[in-house]
């Protein structure tokens, strides 16, 4: 049984970027520069932690057989997550350091747009895992007649 690394790494940027937006809202509400600094460093850490998530994601993607329906979903997933990372990078660049950004509303808007990308990319990731077994020890190159159907759920009743 192989244990993919991608799911282990993705939680860090997602969590850090999510709380950065929460700290932005706190800073905006309280007017305290401390929260801008915390948000700034959460964005930095999220971007740094996105690197191993991207690398391990490409490794998982390379294991998907070309032409398999999961490959197209994986490409959309990568596009959504890349767009999200770019939005968080733009938010970071607008901050010009750890103080209150001169373009605070624009920086927050970029982070909010990044969250939309994360949500869409996360939904696509769930289709890959639960619909096709990608990253769950099931190879997308296997001949699986259920691979194009909706995920199977087990019921206790």
Provide DSSP, 70-113.
Answer: HHHHHHHHHHHHHHHHHHHHHHHHHH-SSS--TTHHHHHHHHHH
Residues (pLDDT < 70) of the chain are 1-2, 137-157
Q: Provide Rg for the chain, Cα atoms.
A: 18
Cα 146 from chain centroid?
Answer: 27
pLDDT of residue 137: 64
SS3 (DSSP) at 150: coil
Q: What is the pLDDT of residue 84?
A: 98
Whose CA is closest to 122, among 154, 80, 60, 94? Answer: 80
**pLDDT attached to residue 31:** 87
The pLDDT score that the predictor gives to residue 138 is 56
State the pLDDT at residue 125.
Answer: 95
Q: What is residue 7's predicted lDDT score, i.e. its pLDDT? A: 87
pTM of the model: 0.83
pLDDT at 100: 74
Predicted pLDDT at 122: 96
Mean pLDDT over each residue of the chain, to the nearest integer: 86
Long-range contacts of 36-40 (CB under 8 A, 24+ apart): 36/95, 36/98, 36/99, 36/100, 36/101, 37/98, 37/99, 40/92, 40/95, 40/97, 40/98
């Amino acid at each position: 049984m192989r244990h993919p690394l991608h799911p282990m790494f993705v939680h860090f940027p997602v969590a850090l970027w999510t709380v950065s937006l929460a700290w932005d809202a706190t800073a905006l509400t309280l007017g305290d520069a401390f929260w801008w600094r915390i948000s700034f460093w959460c964005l930095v850490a999220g971007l740094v932690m996105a690197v191993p998530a991207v690398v391990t994601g490409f490794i998982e993607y390379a294991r998907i057989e070309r032409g398999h329906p999961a490959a197209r979903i994986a490409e959309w997933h990568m596009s959504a997550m890349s767009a999200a990372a770019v939005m968080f990078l733009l938010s970071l660049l607008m901050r010009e350091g750890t103080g209150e950004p001169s373009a605070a509303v624009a920086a927050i808007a970029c982070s909010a747009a990044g969250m939309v990308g994360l949500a869409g990319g996360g939904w696509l990731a769930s289709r890959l895992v639960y619909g096709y077994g990608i990253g769950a020890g099931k190879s997308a190159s296997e001949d699986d007649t259920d691979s194009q159907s909706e995920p199977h759920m087990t019921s206790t009743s």
